[in-house]
Structure formats: structure tokens, C-alpha cells
Structure 1
Amino acid sequence: MKHCYPKVNYDFKFQNSNFKILKLEDLFLSENSAVFEKNHKVNFYTIMVITNDIGRHSIDYNDFYYSKGTVLAIRKDQIHRFYINNNVKGYLLLFKEEFLNSYLNERQVSMTIQMFNEWIISPKTQFNKDEFLQILQLSTQIEKEFTNLSDDYSLKIIRSQLHVLITLIHRTKSKGYNKIQLGNYLKEFIKFQGLLEKNYIKSKKVQYYANKLGFSSKKLNTIVQFIANKSAKVFIDDVVIIKAKNYLLHSNLSIKEVSFKLGFKDPANLCKYFKKHTKFTPEAYRKRYKV
């Protein structure tokens, strides 16, 4: 059974460009603003640039507080919701992979998309005054170019500017990392992440995934700790809990059915597992948060 997410209308079409830039304040003042406050998905990548005031935005049921100088990166098909604050100002840069594919090579596109992997890197980046000035200037230039779309070169210019903007975000996020080690571990981590996505129903044990990857449990823990700043077991549990929350909030499946969907043979085991990680029973969580 598929999750039933609210149908949202950002009041735009990508048409042939696969790109759009909106002012955040315009979105908040639109007729459909109440819909945006519900958990929903979209089929494009989003970069949210905050230029004024403070607020918060929910991504995968986690609230991220923002202020001037904050940039949030939200991948396509990620569950998120807005908290409407009419004093907040900023930009939403929305694009599909196809927009980058027509300009960047495969490696550059891959690096760009990695910025939206919330397990590798936090969705939130807080820039200092000087760093943010560059982000703001680029966002303003992109908006101006997109508003005019004066000739065949406009989208090419926007692609270049978007690539520079994303590269600047990468630069800030990468400070403090051992880049050589990150490069070595990243490929292995992404393999683990993909394997977990396909097999979390079968197993929630570190040794299972280490064996599948040909690693020792110690090596897998080292990789996940370095990339995600948590142990492999905590990472696995976090993924399963997000899956559980999806079913509880966005389907009408019974707790027993949710248990089977997640690979728990006994609903009591899911209840114990879920309460350990959230402090709620599945029933209590659904009752409190389901819209």
C-alpha cells in the first residue's frame, strides 16, 4: 500500500526548463499556504535560502530552526513541511536532475546530488556574513535571469550560477573534513545505504550488512561513524524509525500490518523497538501526530 501524501500545488510548472525560483514570502502568502504546513513530497530538489527573520522547517519529522544566512537542502521525495511565518523572506530554488544533466558531467551531477543526502550531511548550513553575501548575490542574479529569460542563453547562465552556488555550499560543509578519507569512505557508505534501503525488512543487524559488503563489523562502523557521525546500528535504527513513522502517519495500516511491513513478526516487538527510539508507542505516536 502506498503512502497517501497531501497533493500540493506550488503554483508553477517546470515546463521544459526543469528549474524554477520562487520567493519564500510569495509562497507563504499564496492561497494554498495551509497545504504546505502538512507533510508532503515533491519530485524535485529544493534549496531554501533564508534572507530575513527566523523560523523552522520540518524535514523527515525533524525541525530545523533557521535565521538569516541559513540554507536548507531538501532532496526530491523527501518528506517535509513548512511552518508559515509571514515575516520570513528568502528564496526557493527548485530543480530536477535533468536541469543539471544537460550541463554538467556525470561526476559533477553525482557530487551535487550528494549534498541532498541527509545521511551524509546535514540538510542545514549556516553561513557567516561574508559567505552568505556570495550566496545571496547568486540567488538574486538567478532570480533576475529567470524572471527575464531574455534569450537562449538565460538557462545556460542559470545552470552555471546554480552550480557555483551548490559548490559554495559544498565548500562550507566540507570544512573540517579529511577530504582524502571522505572520498575513500563515501563510495562504501553509499553502497551500505543502498543495501540497507533494500534489505531493512530482512535484517536490522550490523553484521548482516557487513557480510553482504565483505567488511568486518568494525570497518562498517568506522565508515558510518565517519560519514554520518553515528554508529552503524544507530544509523540502521534511524532509517527503520523513519519508515515506521511514514506508515503510521501516511497510511491506514493497522499496527500489526505496519509491523509486518517493517519485518517484525510480532507487533509487540515493533512497539518495544519504536518506544525505545521515540518514547512513544506506535499507537500514541499516530494519535498525536497524524493529521
Structure 2
Amino acid sequence: MQEQKEKYDGLPYDALGIKIRSDANPYLSAELQKKLLEPRKLSSYFIVLIESGSITYNIDEQDFTLTDGHLLFAMPNQFFIPPAKSRDLKYFKLLFDENILALLPQQFPFLANPLYGQTMAPEPAAKERITKVFGILNQLLYLDKVETDTEIILAYLNTLLSELNSAYFKNRETGNSLNANLSKFIEFKLVVETHLTEQPSIPAIAEKLALSTNSLYRIVKEYSGTSPKDFLINRLMAEAQRKLRYSNLSIKELAFELGFNDPDYFSRLFKKSTGKSASDFLPGQDLSGK
């Protein structure tokens, strides 16, 4: 592969935009290992397969414990707290960015997490195939001394994501197809994520998606259990909680950064949504803005 010369979630990565690690191919630098344990907002997709052992990740303030054969995936903009590596853990970790997805021949709806399940436990036959493809990617990217054609690497990545997409939707009501409603919900989530701090109106989002407001409401309610307005508010409040926990912004600064013109309104909305006042979210931290 080409010489490493860019950054990926704060870490070096291949110019192609894919990074893979395993228990047999860990980060060797002590400084890099320390950096890996720092909480961060993901700028890439992250997938981990646990072959054997047990470990717990924290994503968006939620713990996910993985054991033999389990997978976890996370998306850009999610807040990620990686765990210290446990002993005797066998695993593969994969990171890749949006530019890589644009090079693949198909879409993978599971990456937008429309059914709100970030873990998978594939059936034995699928797990065996998935593990083999992880191993092949690890070999192509890091073990082979001869540079591999990009097309081959992308072909195996496409195979891996196809397997994971099938495992995600298997035995779920929506099936494995990207139906029209699911496609629109994924588009809705992407619009919210991309324009979060602009706080677009629901009618504006509906117009962007070529939907009526009633149709948008029905689709978002079907896949998230909430209205589009509540979905947007919940996403803003999740972002606010991360900022309060991991930045030194005052409440006033945070309100403006999230697109609120009135910090007092932001504080009231935060209290209503989370049950806690912003100033009490992290005891001992000065959030007064003075």
C-alpha cells in the first residue's frame, strides 16, 4: 500500500482510507495505544468483530458488551469511548470513510442503523465467512509485502459489508431490501446529521426529501418511534451532553454552537429532554459562561 501520510480519527491510516487491526497486528507504539483509549467523536465508520473473549465499548453513552462471534459497528459523528484491551482477546477492527463507500458498487443500509441495533451475532456459517474476509483484508493491507490493486481490496470490503448488511436485517420485519420508506428514513437521518447545528425545519427537510410533512412523520415514526421534530431534538440533546462532558464550552457557548439563539431556551429544553439541568450534568465543572 502507499506510504501512510494522512490522519484518521487522529491516527495514521492508509492513503486509500481503510484501516484494519487485529490481535495479531495491534498498534505497536505506546503513544498510539494511549491515544486509542481517548474518547473521541468518530469521523469514520468503525466495525469490530470479536472472535473470542469479551470486551465492552461505550458509544453515545451506551455500553455494548461483545463476546465470541459478536460484531459492533459505529458511525461518523457518534461519540466513542474505546476500552482497554482485555487479555486473550481475538478480534478484528476496521475503519473506513465516506470516500471509500462512494467507490463501492452498492449501498449498505445497515450503516445508517435504521433499526437501532449496533451489534450483530451472525449465524455460524456467516460468521465463518465474515472472519475469513476480515483475515484477507488484514493480509492485503498489512501482511503482504507486494502492493495489492485497489480494486481487489475494495472487492473484499464490498463482500464484507454485504455479509454484514444481510446479518443486520436477517429475521427482521423490514427484510433485507432497501425499500422506499427505509431509503427515505436513511436520507432523513443523513440530512439531520449533516445539518444538525443549522436546525432545519421539518417542512424544509420534507421538501428536501420530496415528501409531504405527513409522509415524513409516518416514515420517521415507523423506524424511530418518534416524530421528526423529537428525533431532531433528541439528536441535538445527545450532542449537547457529549459537549458538556468532553469540552470546556460554557452553556452559552454550547447553545450558540448547536444553533440556538437563546441560551435560556436551550437550558429549558435540555432540562425537559434529559431531566437534568446543563449546569448539573457534570458536577464540579464550571459551565456558567462567566
**TM-score bracket, shorter-length normalisation:** 0.7 to 0.9
Find the aligned partners of 2:151 and 2:210 in 1 and give their Cα distance. Answer: 44
Q: Secondary structure of 1:192's partner?
A: helix
Find the aligned partners of 1:203 and 1:96 in 2 and give their Cα distance. Answer: 25
Find the aligned partners of 1:162 and 1:281 in 2 and give their Cα distance. Answer: 44
Partner of 2:168 in structure 1?
173
Q: Secondary structure of 1:238's partner?
A: helix
Partner of 1:3 in structure 2?
none
Q: Structure 1, unaligned stretches of length 5 or more?
A: 1-6
Find the aligned partners of 2:155 and 2:207 in 1 and give their Cα distance. Answer: 42
Change (3 A) 1:288 1:209: farther
Alpha-carbon offset, residue 185 of structure 1: 1.2
Contact 2:112 2:186 in 1 (8 A): no
Contact 1:145 1:154 in 2 (8 A): no
Contact 1:25 1:86 in 2 (8 A): no
Partner of 1:96 in structure 2?
97
Find the aligned partners of 2:176 and 2:100 in 1 and give their Cα distance. Answer: 29
| One-letter code aligned to 2:158 | H
Larger helix proportion, structure 1 or 2? 1
Indicate the structure whose relative CO is greater, using CA pairs within 8 Å and at least 6 residues apart: 1
Contact 2:58 2:64 in 1 (8 A): yes
Partner of 2:30 in structure 1?
31
| One-letter code aligned to 1:52 | S
Partner of 1:4 in structure 2?
none
2:129 is aligned with 1:134:
yes
Show CA shifts across 1:159-192 (max 9, x none). Answer: 2222111101111112224359852113432443
The correspondence of residues 132-211 of structure 1 with structure 2, limited to 5 A, is: 132-151=127-146, 153=148, 155-175=150-170, 176-179=172-175, 182-197=178-193, 209-210=205-206
Partner of 1:14 in structure 2?
14
Contact 1:221 1:231 in 2 (8 A): yes
Q: Please, which moves more after superposition, 231-240 or 174-183?
A: 174-183
Find the aligned partners of 1:172 and 1:219 in 2 and give their Cα distance. Answer: 29
Contact 1:45 1:75 in 2 (8 A): yes
Q: Secondary structure of 2:112's partner?
A: coil
Alpha-carbon offset, residue 155 of structure 1: 4.3
Contact 2:20 2:92 in 1 (8 A): yes
Find the aligned partners of 1:147 and 1:258 in 2 and give their Cα distance. Answer: 41
Change (3 A) 1:187 1:13: closer
Aligned residues between the structures = 276
Q: Secondary structure of 1:56's partner?
A: strand
Q: Please, which moves more after superposition, 148-157 or 216-225?
A: 148-157
Find the aligned partners of 2:44 and 2:261 in 1 and give their Cα distance. Answer: 36
Change (3 A) 1:45 1:259: closer
Q: Secondary structure of 1:92's partner?
A: strand
Q: Please, which moves more after superposition, 84-93 or 253-262?
A: 253-262
Find the aligned partners of 1:129 and 1:180 in 2 and give their Cα distance. Answer: 19
Contact 1:59 1:74 in 2 (8 A): yes
Find the aligned partners of 2:255 and 2:101 in 1 and give their Cα distance. Answer: 40
Change (3 A) 1:92 1:183: same
| One-letter code aligned to 2:163 | L
Alpha-carbon offset, residue 232 of structure 1: 2.6
Contact 2:18 2:95 in 1 (8 A): yes
RMSD between superposed Cα atoms in Å: 3.5
Find the aligned partners of 1:213 and 1:8 in 2 and give their Cα distance. Answer: 30
Q: Secondary structure of 2:81's partner?
A: strand
Partner of 2:4 in structure 1?
none
Alpha-carbon offset, residue 267 of structure 1: 3.4
Alpha-carbon offset, residue 289 of structure 1: 9.1
The correspondence of residues 238-277 of structure 1 with structure 2, limited to 5 A, is: 238-277=234-273
2:41 is aligned with 1:52:
no
| One-letter code aligned to 2:269 | Y
Alpha-carbon offset, residue 54 of structure 1: 1.6
Structure-1-length-normalised TM-score: 0.76
The correspondence for 2:274, drawn from 269, 273, 278, is 278
Change (3 A) 1:277 1:26: farther
Alpha-carbon offset, residue 223 of structure 1: 0.6
Partner of 2:61 in structure 1?
61
Find the aligned partners of 1:95 and 1:202 in 2 and give their Cα distance. Answer: 27
